[in-house]
Amino acid sequence: MALIEVVRVRKAYGKVVVFNDISIAIETGEFVALLGPSGCGKSTLLRILAGLEQPDSGEVRFKGQPVAGPRSEIALMFQTPTLLPWKTALDNVALPLVARGATWAEAREAAMRYLSLVGLSGFEEAYPKQLSGGMQQRVALARALAVEPEVLLLDEPFSALDPLTAESLRAELVRIWHENLSSVHTIVMVTHSVDEAVYVANRAIVLSPRPAKVVADVRIELPYPRNRRSPEFQKYVDLLYSYI
């Protein structure tokens, strides 16, 4: 049994058929990059995996159980950080823990650890507007990790950042996942960038235009951290481009 199973899912918005009949199985430990043309349904698939939307038919299962709504084992992070501007970095990370029953003292202690993990020690008391875009996205990552999910779903998490900031966050995310520094063992990330997919993922799934089907499912067997200048890296980039 796979960790996450998308089984014969159909999803339409009025006449727009996003998925007619799509099936995907994701195993524990995978870092899946989801690629495909604009508007093909990548974000829709992520929302369905997160339990934020239901398929019209077919099913999504997590550990064999139907995903009927959002669940604590699956966290979702977006392109922009969506922090509460009137809360400090620390309290932005702590708040979801309090909402789940932790005391403020426990929640703040955990939030300190996760802010440190994403490289923000010393910025606990800063408000979002005092932080750069990249730092705000780090807070959002700490907030997603702090609830200790097993699965992290990421919708173009670095595309709103400048290239250098995006690159350092990408490397951090890979390190946290690959070195098992958090509870997250499985990641599904939507991206427009083939290069990003080959840099982070150990599996790339390429979707076709709507109604989206899986046109390629490629294991990326390169050691971490990855070297963009290696010929093997370029081979995977070329292979994925051939499907897009």
Ligand X SMILES: Nc1ncnc2c1ncn2[C@@H]1O[C@H](COP(=O)(O)OP(=O)(O)OP(=O)(O)O)[C@@H](O)[C@H]1O
What residues make contact with ligand X under the rule CB under 6 A? 13, 16, 18, 36, 38-44
Minimum gap (Å) between residue 184 Cβ and ligand X? 22
Nearest to ligand X of 15, 129 (CB atom): 15
DSSP secondary structure string, the chain? --SEEEEEEEEEETTEEEEEEEEEEE-TT-EEEEE-STTSSHHHHHHHHTTSS--SEEEEEETTEE--S--TTEEEE-SS----TTS-HHHHHHHHHHHTT--HHHHHHHHHHHHHHTT-TT-TT--GGGS-HHHHHHHHHHHHHHT--SEEEEESTTTTS-HHHHHHHHHHHHHHHHTT-SS--EEEEE-S-HHHHHHH-SEEEEEPSSSP-EEEEEE---PSSP-TTSHHHHHHHHHHHTT-
Q: CB-wise, 131 or 197, nearer to ligand X?
A: 197
Least Å from the CB of residue 47 to ligand X: 8
Least distance (Å) between residue 158 CB and ligand X = 14
Read off the amino acid at residue 195. Answer: D
User: C-beta of 67: minimal distance to ligand X in Å?
Assistant: 17
In terms of CB distance, is 4 or 206 closer to ligand X?
Answer: 206
Q: Of 35 and 152, which has the nearer Cβ to ligand X?
A: 35
**Shortest Cβ 49–ligand X spacing (Å):** 12
Q: Nearest distance from residue 40's CB to ligand X, in Å? A: 4
User: Minimum distance from CB of 125 to ligand X (Å)?
Assistant: 35
Q: Closest CB to ligand X among 91 and 155?
A: 155
Our CB check for ligand X shows the closer of 16 and 84 to be 16
Nearest to 42 by CA among 79, 68, 73, 80: 79
Q: Of the two residues 23 and 183, which places its CB atom closer to ligand X in the complex?
A: 23
Strands 186-190 and 65-66: unpaired
